Chains A and B, each alone.
Chain A
């Protein structure tokens, strides 16, 4: 780390929602009063012990928290280096970390008297988690999902319907996550009176990046305490995959001011960064403005947004949360990448070595964990966020492997 150290990496965002030059509020004027209201409501909720108590109760009894910290002994032996631990957020209700945030936001929606829920989804995990909490609290829910993503993630699209949500197929643009987010923003502008938009990642206009991070930080807080109990010390490295970056932000944030802990965010390199067919906004993009915030984006020379590519629908997004962009620029977190093929290999390896079928998203994190573990000594500890399970991916993986189901 050559950059000068800050007193704290956990102070952001500022009052205007900026992390350095990133973040902010780039929305249609129609939405400004709504996001200002949301900010006020969230600030009040944060200070209200009864809000946190209710959230904690649902996280424990409905989501199933705390999620275990698991020593992946067989993979540790297999790689022959650092000890590997998984934070097992794939064991949450609905199968991923997404519900941590959805539970927080639906309680906020209820508190604000909103009566209709909308969301965007890529892999469908956030859509399923949103549909789930909407069902639990009896609110109608519309989920926007790109046509291509619906095709790749059919089980999740059906799951949302079973939960009573309306899944609206998005056929504009690249027909993936970024277009689903455009459509959700358009819906929100058209339904300002009653609608709460549950954004699924640490992006969007302020206060979303901070709010989603705070709700996901339960991952890092638990993991820190669990690691102290298991090993009596902090881990040497954290690894998490990044699309928008909510699971990574949730794991990293409580550790940001622990200088001994190195952090690795793993972007999706798709067919390879050099091919241009990837979803690595930090490795292959530059700062720009999209979906309410300034952040690193995949874009052409004229500022038009380029379609991302990844085998994982959950990482297939041309942007990244603004706090990650800032942590990249101040060099607190190392951002690396893994290709489709590396993720697919790690996916299969994890299934056979640990009896855990990971989602394709954390399979990217595992692919990099393998490289890192081999480089680090056996006395070192890596903590990886197993942020989702792979049930949703088996059809796509089977097709990729040429298996007939």
Chain B
């Protein structure tokens, strides 16, 4: 069983929802980012989503856009992102790591080569925001062959017909985008999301993680009532940004601050009875 499937099975057995933490690889620099990454499982992250920085992230709001640019400015590359995963895997064999980003850097790297190396480094899945089911075959086939899940997204605009297309051939889990808008730009409405997750679950037996609009502990707890996992990204990278000044200089304390926030959010998700 894959690390992702194992983790969701454990959560189900414990009758609780998981917490997924997103950070951008290399934000604000490689060392700090790796330090935060290594601390995420202990802080309470059940799954790690690691953003692959891209110059033109069209589905991201200002917080993640800025974090991608900070990472690129400090010299982050796709190879370094894979190296970070390898470094985390040396000390952690169980926490699923999912790479999230846009297709162009992968296409540029070579899709088949990328999934091979990603698998060897310990990556468990990929979420590629601009790769629709219509276009994902050239990545899905090598990914599946390498044992990686290509995780598909569903949105508030996905009707029943569209959901069928999305879940057909999906693996790992379904990522439900809980708002219409870029990441972090609107706050999730838990009641609407609950109805939507029910619809997604009617179409698939895969777990459903909810993200894009979860800002605080209250949101995370509310989502944990019905979703299999709650994802937080923008709030975490915004926390990192508080430790970077306009010139890009980093002040100490970001790791502790981010991991502290992760612990509070994870706790809110974990404490909610299902």
- List the interface of chain A (C-beta within 8 A of B): 16, 24-34, 172-173, 178-179, 182, 185-186, 189-192, 287-292, 294, 297, 299, 301-305
Q: Cβ of B216 < 8 Å from any Cβ of A?
A: no
Q: Is the CB of B158 within 8 A of A29?
A: yes
CA distance A312 to B185 in the complex (A): 33
Is B142 at the interface (CB under 8 A from chain A)?
no
Whether B56 pairs with A173 at a CB distance below 8 angstroms is: yes
Decide: B78 and A32 in contact? CB cutoff 8 A: no
A289-B107 CB under 8 A given contacts A173-B55, A182-B58: yes
Chain A-chain B contacts (Cβ-Cβ < 8 Å), number? 116
Contact B58 A33 (CB under 8 A): no
B26-61 vs A, CB cutoff 8 Å, 1 = contact: the mask equals 000000000000000000000000000011111101
Which residues of the other chain, A, contact B78 by a CB distance below 8 angstroms? 302-303
B-chain residues with CB within 8 Å of residue A292 when the two chains form the complex: 130
23 contacts between A and B (CB under 8 A): A24-B134, A26-B130, A26-B135, A28-B129, A28-B177, A29-B153, A29-B157, A30-B59, A30-B156, A32-B134, A172-B65, A186-B59, A189-B59, A189-B180, A190-B185, A190-B186, A192-B156, A192-B180, A287-B107, A288-B104, A289-B107, A302-B105, A303-B54
CA distance A179 to B65 in the complex (A): 12
Q: Is the CB of B134 within 8 A of A304?
A: no
Bound Cα distance A27, B105 (Å): 15
State A291–B59 Cα separation when bound (angstroms).
11
- Residues A289 and B180 in contact in the complex (CB < 8 Å), given A25-B132, A182-B58, A302-B77: no
Central interface residue in A27, A32, A302, by most chain B CB within 10 Å? A302
Do the beta carbons of A29 and B155 come within 8 Å of each other?
yes
Q: Which of A24, A25, A191, A305 contacts B55 (CB 8 A)?
A: A305
* Residues on B facing A (Cβ under 8 Å): 54-59, 61-62, 65, 69, 72, 77-78, 102-109, 129-132, 134-135, 152-159, 162, 166, 177, 180-182, 185-186
Identify the closest chain A residue to B180 (Cβ): A192
Bound-complex Cα distance A288 to B180 (A): 26
- Please measure, in the bound complex, the distance between the C-alpha atom of A24 and the C-alpha atom of B104, giving whole angstroms: 14
Distance in angstroms between the alpha carbons of A186 and B60 in the assembled complex: 8
- Given known A290-B104, A303-B107, contact A29–B72 (CB-CB < 8 A): no
Chain A residues within 8 Å of B105, by CB:
302-304
Contacts A30-B157, A34-B157 given; does A16 touch B134 at CB 8 Å = yes
Which 5 residue pairs of A and B lie closest in terms of their CB atoms, listed nearest first?
A: A303-B108, A303-B105, A190-B181, A30-B155, A29-B153
Using known A-B contacts A186-B58, A192-B157, determine if residue A33 contacts B109 with beta carbons closer than 8 Å: no
A297 x B104 contact (CB < 8 A): yes
* Shortest beta-carbon distance from A353 to chain B in Å: 41
Smallest CB-CB separation from B76: which chain A residue?
Answer: A302
Known contacts A190-B180, A190-B181, A305 near B56 by CB under 8 Å? yes
B158 CB contacts on chain A under 8 angstroms: 29, 32-33
A92 to B134, CA, bound (A): 38
Compute how far the CA of A106 lies from the CA of B266 in the bound complex, rounded to whole angstroms.
47
Contact A186 B182 (CB under 8 A): yes
Q: Looking across the interface, which residue of chain A has its beta carbon closest to that of B69?
A: A173
What chain A residues lie within 8 Å of B159 (beta carbons)? 33
CA distance A25 to B177 in the complex (A): 19
Q: How far is the CB of B199 from chain A (nearest CB, A)?
A: 14
Q: Are B185 and A304 in contact (CB under 8 A)?
A: no
Chain A residues whose C-beta falls within 8 Å of the C-beta of B182 in the assembled complex: 186, 189-190
In Å, the complex CA distance between A297 and B55 comes to 13
B181 and A189 form a contact (CB under 8 A) = yes
Chain B residues positioned under 8 Å from A302 (CB to CB): 77-78, 105, 108-109
Q: Which A residues lie within 8 Å of B186 (CB)?
A: 190
Interface contact B130-A289, CB-CB below 8 Å: yes
Q: How far is the CB of B188 from chain A (nearest CB, A)?
A: 14
What B residues does A297 contact at CB under 8 A?
Answer: 104
Docked CA distance A192–B102 (Å)? 21
- How far, in Å, is B52 (CB) from chain A's closest CB? 10
- Report Cα–Cα, A189/B129, bound state, in Å: 13
Residue from B106, B107, B108 with most neighbouring chain A CB atoms (10 Å): B108
* Least distance between A32 CB and chain B CB atoms (Å): 6
How long is the Cα–Cα vector from A32 to B61 in the complex, in angstroms? 19
Given the complex of chains A and B, what is the CA–CA distance between A190 and B59 in angstroms? 10
Instruction: List A contacts of B131 (CB < 8 A).
Output: 26
For B179, the closest partner residue in chain A by CB is: A190
Asked whether B162 lies within 8 Å of A305 as measured between CB atoms, the reply is no
How distant is A37 from chain B, measured CB to nearest CB, in Å?
10
Q: Which of A16, A32, A185 is B162 in contact with, Cβ under 8 Å?
A: A32
- Kindly report which residue of chain A lies nearest to residue B103, judged by CB atoms: A289
**In the bound complex, what is the Cα–Cα distance between A288 and B109 (angstroms)?**
11
Closest beta carbon of chain B to A309's beta carbon, Å = 16
Q: Complex: how many Å from CA A194 to CA B116?
A: 43
Contacting residue for B132 out of A29, A182, A185, A294, CB 8 A: A29
Q: How far is the CB of B237 from chain A (nearest CB, A)?
A: 15
B132 and A26 contact, CB distance less than 8 A: yes
Nearest to A174 among chain B residues (CB) is: B55
Are B157 and A303 interface neighbours, CB within 8 A? no
Q: A29-B153, A30-B177 are in contact. Are A305 and B104 (CB under 8 A)?
A: yes
Nearest neighbor of B102 in chain A, beta-carbon distance: A289
Nearest to B134 among chain A residues (CB) is A25
With A186-B59, A303-B109: A30-B180 Cβ-Cβ less than 8 Å: yes
A25:B157 contact, CB within 8 angstroms: no
The complex places the Cα of A192 from the Cα of B61 at a distance, in Å, of: 16
